[in-house]
Chains A and B, each alone.
Chain A
């Protein structure tokens, strides 16, 4: 009889010793990611349908105030509207060379529940600052990247794609209670 090696995950080990903390942060549901997203989380989305995934989340939570920050605006509000997103609650910001400053202001203001931006090769320190600010003001920070960043900062990295109207959402990495 061979020896069976049991490899429990860190989460299971934490549960065994009673070290898991109950996450009481409010969560917002998403049909494409049933676990939903906890407020104050840093979510990095990669994959070919990352913007459509975000649009889907926004259309399911129309009451949330959104800041859509880009270096140069390429998002098409008309297409967002076609996806069922309510544009009344979205403030678009074209940050140009001051993108990081804009994100700091937007995250620090506490006026928005969702902040969406595109990855424009942010420095690790910037990402950490965004994470702390989003935790402090309890908003969802969505970073849309073509490729997953090697940074440890995002709480959740998702790779999303859609083939023949079939969504595929794959969690590349989870950190914390997410």
Chain B
């Protein structure tokens, strides 16, 4: 077994960081600071990577982990060993081999995940006893016969002893990523920001972290909201200021997501200024979509750039206009003209077969418009049209519960002006539904 230990700064959310590495291995265990006394209180992530040696080497993995953590502004200590306890001890004490570890590392062997703070006192007492016996390293400690450990130092130290020898494994429980993906940053209450500039500095690594967390579970962000928590309630009783962002298409880089977010935040705050200082900023993912990997085209850089600018444009339009503001059309064979296409956010393969449906007008009104036809004369947009021909009659049946439900008898009307209209008769009334423009 090969375990990588990532020792994080104390106040880091280990679960969130672990989600980033979920892509590399599903075998993850955490140690969260807060339970143990100060010098031994550490936050760490343990990744079991022995099954993934065909995907990456140990040195590659360590380098990539270091780079990933730098992207999100986290400085961590990395170590690799055969078990969780040794990996943690080696991340804390910079030594080359296990036997050179100081005897204090028994604390990590007895409780590597920081789950049992009650037994910490016993271990500290045993360590001081060992030191008084001039036993300073694990090499010296292992010279003590195993049958003497329990009566002299207790069962907890015996368990640590067995863990050093690799006889007592820690079970791997299932790692479950959080259901709601959220990142939050609280500002220093002594100097809370009053404009957006300091928020952008914190927002960029937050978005990067969010992107990597979702990437870890094979997802990408489709919609998220920025929540700015104000110091006091505003006149409208809204303490939090929410800005929704839509990322319509995949393969958008964090840089693009940040640009879209910045544009939207600037526009919203300009329209509706902040009333109080900001105490915290959160990014909450409201909709995810599968992350589809694609091979980067190294030989056609221009194509890559064009795709990126296209995704940027579509996401910017969707953020401004709403979810259905920018879309592709998906065709569906249906006799009812209002049902034979629908909006899709991403291009998908056209499943429609050869059309057997009669010619449809290029312009279709959103709702059929009631019109009056008398003596072959109709009025549309306050203009009279003289009908010369009624042709292509077609009977369609629509849902009875709709306004123009039931039987519709469609006609193409040719007029003297050259304009051709598509109207239908329904319950003795005429409705204009389309224009052959």
Q: Give A residues with C-beta under 8 Å from B.
A: 47-52, 55, 72-83, 87-88, 90-96, 98, 101-102, 105-106, 109-111, 161-163
Contact = CB atoms under 8 A, between A and B. Distances in A.
Contact of A76 (B309, B316, B325, B360): B360
B377 interface: no
- For B314, B320, B329, which residue has the most chain A Cβ atoms within 10 angstroms? B329
Given A50-B437, A109-B313, A161-B418, A91 B366 contact: no
Given A48-B418, A87-B350, A111-B306, A92 B328 contact: yes
A94 B322 CA distance: 10
A96 to B, nearest CB: 7
Given A76-B364, A93-B321, A111-B310, A81 B352 contact: yes
Nearest to B349: A88
Given A82-B355, A92-B326, A109-B313, A74 B418 contact: no
Nearest to A68: B329
B331 interface: yes
Contacts of A82: 355, 357, 359-360
A50 to B, nearest CB: 6
A55 B361 CA distance: 12
- In the A-B complex, the 4 residue pairs with the smallest Cβ-Cβ separation, listed nearest first, are A77-B329, A76-B364, A48-B418, A51-B437
Given A78-B360, A79-B361, A88-B347, A111 B309 contact: yes
16 contacts: A50-B437, A75-B363, A75-B364, A79-B360, A79-B361, A81-B352, A81-B355, A87-B331, A88-B350, A91-B314, A93-B317, A105-B317, A109-B310, A110-B309, A111-B306, A163-B418
Given A48-B437, A105-B316, A111-B313, A92 B366 contact: no
Nearest to A76: B364
Interface of B: 306, 309-310, 312-314, 316-317, 320-321, 324-329, 331, 337, 340-341, 343, 347, 350, 352, 355, 357, 359-366, 417-420, 434, 436-437
B122 to A, nearest CB: 67
A42 B420 CA distance: 27
Contacts of B359: 79, 82
Given A91-B314, A105-B313, A79 B328 contact: no
A64 B136 CA distance: 75
Contacts of B357: 78, 82
Given A47-B418, A79-B360, A79-B364, 5 more contacts: A48-B420, A88-B350, A98-B320, A109-B313, A110-B306
Contact of B362 (A79, A90, A109, A163): A79
Contacts of B309: 109-111
